Amino acid sequence: MNKGKEGFSRRDFVVNSIMAAAGLSVAKFGLTASNKQTIDNAINTNNMNNTNSTMAKRKLGSLEVTELGFGCMNIAWAYGNAPAKEDAIKLIRGAYEQGHRFFDTAEIYGPHISETTTGEALKPFRKDVVIASKIGFDH
């Protein structure tokens, strides 16, 4: 498998893309028993739980973040019905397990639902991640 200079392969990229697509479909269409099982199966496969994956990092000022961030807007609103809080937490933690260490949210997503859910999901890993939140909206 072709790995980048930091050890993040094309397969890792594809797997992470599938996770993001699953999140979008959950946000848009909601969960049914059959697609919830499909998502659970995908998260629990060996490819999805490869915690040995390392993702390349970049500097943002004094912060060091992973090149691929995880956007948390769809866990609160945007492209249809929001997923259940438990499913959103599972999705965010799945992204963490895949090597994401940079998470993006905003006070306007919900308002405050995305920030609260993201914080709750990442609480056990708080010292290992960077959470960016956009503020100052008049909502």
* 27: nearest Cα among 92, 107, 122, 104: 92
Question: Residue 58 and residue 82: Cα distance in Å, rounded?
Answer: 31
Question: Residue 100 and residue 48: Cα distance in Å, rounded?
Answer: 12
Q: Which residues are marked as active site? A: 109
In degrees, rounded to 5, the angle at the alpha carbon of residue 71 between the alpha carbons of residues 69 and 77 is 175
Torsions phi, psi for 60 (to 5 deg): -120, 95
* 24: nearest Cα among 2, 45, 8, 39: 39
